[in-house]
Amino acid sequence: MLLVGLGLSAVCALGALIAAVGVVAMAFPGRPEPWAVHLLRRATGAAGWAAVAVYSLGLSGVLLSEHAFGNGADSIPAPACRDGFDAETRQGLSHHRSSYLPLRFDCVRDDGTVYSSDPSYLWMNWATASLALAAALLVIGAGYATELRARRTAKMS
C-alpha cells in the first residue's frame, strides 16, 4: 500500500509539473485564444494535481505508521511515536490516534496529553487545503471569464 501511495504522489507531482509547464507556455506567442480562460484552466490543473500529490504523500506516511503498528516484534507502541523522540517525550505513551482527513498520526500518553509523531503533517494539511482552494477559485474564475466573454460577444452581435 505504501508503494501505491508514493507512486500516486509521484504521478500527481508529474501531472502538476506538466500542467505548470502548460501555464508557463501561455506566455509565449501562438497561445490559444481565449488565452485567459486557457490560462485559468491550466492553472487549475496544476493546483489540483499539486494538492493531490501533497495529500497522497502525507497519506502514505500515515498508512506506513499504521502498518508498522502491531506488525512484528517491537511494534507496540507505534514506532512512529517512539523513533526520534527522547525518553521524556515517550514517557507514559499508551496508544495512538490516526486520521486521514486531516492527515495526522498522534501519540497519546496515559495522562491524555498528545504529541504529533511527525510535524510535517501540519504543512501537508495546509498545503493541500490551500492548493484545493486555489483550484476551486481558479475554476470559478475560468467560468466567470467564459461568461464575460460570451456576454461581450452577444453584446457586439
Tens digits of per-residue pLDDT, 27-49? Answer: 777 777 777 888 888 889 899 99
**Cα–Cα distance measured from residue 116 to residue 98, given in angstroms and rounded to the nearest whole number:** 10
Region 52-57: mean pLDDT is: 91
CA distances from 137 to 39, 44, 49, 134, 144 (A): 13, 8, 15, 5, 10
Distance CA 39, CA 25 (A): 9
Q: What angle do CA 60, 65, 70 make, to 5 degrees?
A: 140
Given a cut of 70, whether residue 9 has pLDDT beyond it is: yes
pLDDT band at 75 (very low <50, low <70, confident <90, very high): low
Among the listed residues 83, 78, 105, 110, the one whose alpha carbon sits nearest the alpha carbon of residue 94: 110
- DSSP H or E run through 76: none
pLDDT tens digits along 118-142: 888 999 999 999 999 999 999 999 8
Contacts of 10 (CB under 8 A, 6+ apart): 53
Report the pLDDT value the prediction gives residue 74, as an integer from 0 to 100: 63
Closest CA to 16 of 55, 58, 44, 57: 44
Which pLDDT score is estimated for 1? 58
- Beta bridge partners, 149, equal none
pLDDT band at 61 (very low <50, low <70, confident <90, very high): confident
21: cell is 509547464
Q: For 53-69, what is the mean pLDDT?
A: 87
Q: Is pLDDT larger for residue 76 or for residue 101?
A: 101
Beta bridge partners of 104: 99
